[in-house]
Amino acid sequence: MTKSSFYEMSIPQQNFRAPLKFNQNGTYVAVTEQDNLSIFNINPFGKIFELQGTSSGLYKSIDLNNASGIMTREELGGVLTGRYLIEMLFATSLIAVVDTIQQPKKLKIINTKRKAAICELKFDHNVQQICLNRKRLVILLQSKQIFIYDISCMQLLHTIDIMEDKVIKELVLKQQQKSWLLKNMAVRGTTSEMDGNQTKEDDAYSYEVKMKLSGDDKSILVYTTYSLSTVDPREDETEITESNENIQKNVNPKGSSASANKLKITLNNIMVFDALNLAQLNFLPRVHNRNVQCLSLSHDGSTVVTASTRGTIIRCFKTSQEQSCFKEFRRGNRPCTITQLEMDHGIALLACVGNSDTIHIFQMNKENAASLADKNTPNNSIPSSSSSPGMALPSTIRHESKFTRVSKFISSNIVSHLPRQNLERNYAYIKKQNEKEIVMIGFSNSSQDKMYVCYGDRLEVYELPSQPGSCLLTQTHVF
């Protein structure tokens, strides 16, 4: 199986109604249904733009003040048929769109008022994610390459290749292929259980790079990178026994490792990059023990929030500081696949949504003394490559009896794996009607006490409570 064919098979080619994206200031929302793409204004509610594939090959553009205007397929070059990636530029008329089924390697910049595609970018690999602000356009490909453009002239400024290391490249592709095969064999009933080296949380998507771009002109870019560690065959596979620096010494010039069969790769590093001045700002290593499933960046680029594939703990970091988790939240005790983390414009609230029946809202500006106290204890420390159950016992207890040493060793490890009940939980919540529904969440910049929840067929407006509790549904708009 070639690399390109694996990527193509990994893309879910389904047509279903689903929310796509809120714009940066929470005034527009984009939704898709089969071949149609629509953008709605939230207040007042109404459709402001529609790209609709019909048998005659016509696309229709709708304006709030003028409901006329027809876009032909030739004017758009056949874009927008099927499933889409879309990024809106605040409340302007510019949108960036990728057709992930028919033209997954082509990105188009469309002016919704002029009803024309004004720019087109072609790549060698499928486009995975788009980020856009008033200064920069950042594109992530499935080949793990990031392209940074000047939005004013669409000039390519910089390219970041996350897969430069041959060992990482080989291990990532191997892990993704294994995850994809195991998943499809389980669906077809050819295997009864997961492979011993594959956890249910760490599927193929969890190894895909994620990125976010700040909404302001500073253009702070954060993206995930891979860390390497070795696995001690005598211990559980998830435990780390060697740091990244030591492993790099074992890699020979040909890009292979003498202990390649014992290497473990994890997507748990965060790189902070200045996309405006094209310089690396910071590096946050091993923010979780597992792969980073989801991340969010504040509007000013000062705070990044992450969640792992387990989805029980949410961690907050300052992009300008070294490894310093200044706040932690507990979403719950049961594993959950978090699909979106969203902060409001003032970094006062954090919303979290996943494949559970509850949308959680946390208070970012509230002191989280409980989670920061006793930071050096095993159950509250940030993941480190130097800590593992297989580490040597301290010299201060070597003279104790063997039974005492073993008892203390086992008890300390049990405590370190227990859920941290002292972490702050949600301040408010919203109950979903169906936990399997695809949901997109957003905050209103004009009103601090409003929150939007977008489903495939409706938009719900909630009022945040003054005291901890359930949010109040105030409006429902049907698409």
Residues forming beta bridges with residue 137, ordered by sequence position: 132, 149
Mean pLDDT of 9-19: 55
- Reported as a single tens digit per residue, the pLDDT across 291-318 is 999 999 999 999 999 999 999 999 999 9
**349, 340 contact by CB (below 8 A):** no
Residue 452, pLDDT above cutoff 50: yes
56 versus 12: the higher-pLDDT residue is 12
DSSP, collapsed to helix, strand or coil, labels residue 281 as: strand
- Encoded tokens for 260: 């390649």
Name the residue among 139, 132, 163 with its Cα closest to residue 226.
163
Alpha-carbon span 72 to 57, nearest angstrom: 6
- Encoded tokens for 139: 């594109």
Alpha-carbon separation of residue 78 from 52, 75, 81, 98 (angstroms): 11, 8, 7, 11
- Reported as a single tens digit per residue, the pLDDT across 69-128 is 333 333 333 333 347 899 999 999 999 999 888 889 999 999 998 878 999 999 999 999
Of 211-220, 360-369, 462-471, which range is least confident? 360-369
- Reported as a single tens digit per residue, the pLDDT across 138-188 is 999 999 999 999 999 999 999 999 988 778 888 888 887 777 777 666 555
- Reported as a single tens digit per residue, the pLDDT across 121-141 is 999 999 999 999 999 999 999
- Please report, rounded to a whole number, the percentage of residues in the chain having pLDDT higher than 90: 50
Q: Which helix or strand (DSSP H or E) is residue 266 part of? A: strand 263-274
- Which residue's structure tokens are 């010299």? 395
Mean pLDDT of 42-52: 88
- Reported as a single tens digit per residue, the pLDDT across 361-383 is 999 987 643 333 334 333 334 44
Alpha-carbon span 406 to 412, nearest angstrom: 10
Residue 384, pLDDT above cutoff 50: no
User: What does 321-365 look like in DSSP terms, one character per residue?
Assistant: SSS-EEEEEE--SS---EEEEEE-TTS-EEEEEESSSEEEEEESS
0.85 exceeded by the pTM? no
Residue 171 is predicted with a pLDDT of 84
- Per-residue pLDDT band at 410 (split at 50, 70, 90): low
Alpha-carbon span 235 to 344, nearest angstrom: 43
Amino acid residing at 247: I
User: What does 9-55 look like in DSSP terms, one character per residue?
Assistant: HHS------EEEEE-TTSSEEEEEETTEEEEEETTTTEEEEEEE--T
- Encoded tokens for 96: 């960036």
